[in-house]
Amino acid sequence: MKAAVQARARELGFDACRVTSALPPATAAHFQTWLAAGRHGEMAYLARQAPKRADPQQVLPGARNLVCLAASYHVAAGPPPPPSAAPCVVARYARFADYHDVLAEKLRALTEFVNRLGGPDTKSLWSVDTGPIQERDLAQRAGLGFIGKHTNLIGRDLGNWFFLAEILTTLELEPDPPERNRCGSCTRCLAACPTGAILEPFVLDARRCISYLTIELKGPIPVELRPAIGTRVFGCDDCLEACPWNRFARAGALLAPHRRDDLDAPDLLALLALDEGAFKARFAGTPLVRAKRRGLLRNVCVALGNLGDPATLPALRRAANDPEPLLAEHAQWAIDRIERVRR
């Protein structure tokens, strides 16, 4: 039956499909320690979900297995984006339509297939990083990849550029052997992190991570961390890009039709000019809506301050009068930073 599930997963476009048991992840205690240290920042849902993350049976009683899936978002090098006076950086995964929506249809189809395979008593739940499942830990146990020192999953034939999804099921399937860590003595990801968020191998403090600061954090970005953000406005790929396993990365077919080339290097001033309606129109159906206008334009102001171009001051002064206090404060910070350099 496992072979049939894996074959169907490939037909649907997934780049890898492996199986592990529904036993608790071996890293549950480590996760609790991480939470106790407050390294999850304002992501309170992680603490609320901790009991379920430690025991898949609390998510689906009677679950026997977890089908772990990977979908590559690697894109082969193409022509550079059109020149921009003030380009910014969007994380690679966000340069597509929202992966939750893209993968959902395929996951529903595969889940229905699993249930038909198991018969009328089979129950299954699918998730795309939205359910209370320690997906990276369990994906490593399924042999899909190994957790690198940057705490992300690395695939030997996918590199760092892939999404995870899973199906928790009561269907009995033969588990695959786990993958072992293959980082060796490499510490390139630690050295690459602009804010020092990787405190030590396999320990990330989300409160310092640029992905957290530009997406998950809803309030002001700590002033001391703003310069290190550079011109990144949504996420950060530095630790992933530094990984030597990327030489094995391969493009996947599932995400390719949903590519958004306009997000390769958006213009900061064009973004800063977006009102609420224009923001929703431009980014509807993409991951960037998660930051909301106030969050994305907050990040844009930080990027402009770091860019340091005096020509952007008129736009920043207009933003400093925006009725949204979060945007206004970050715009004023950018103005002050640029003017200090000019003196």
Active-site annotation, residues: 129
Residue 85 DSSP symbol = S
Residue with tokens 């954090």: 217
The Cα–Cα gap between 312 and 231 comes to 14
**What are the CB-based long-range contacts (under 8 Å, 24+) for 47-52?**
49/132, 52/132, 52/133
Is the CB of residue 275 less than 8 Å from the CB of residue 304?
Answer: no
The Cα–Cα gap between 301 and 327 comes to 8
The Cα–Cα gap between 186 and 85 comes to 37
Backbone angles phi, psi at 126, to 5 degrees: -110, 160
Question: Angle CA(339)–CA(193)–CA(147) in degrees, nearest 5?
Answer: 155
Residue 60 DSSP symbol = S
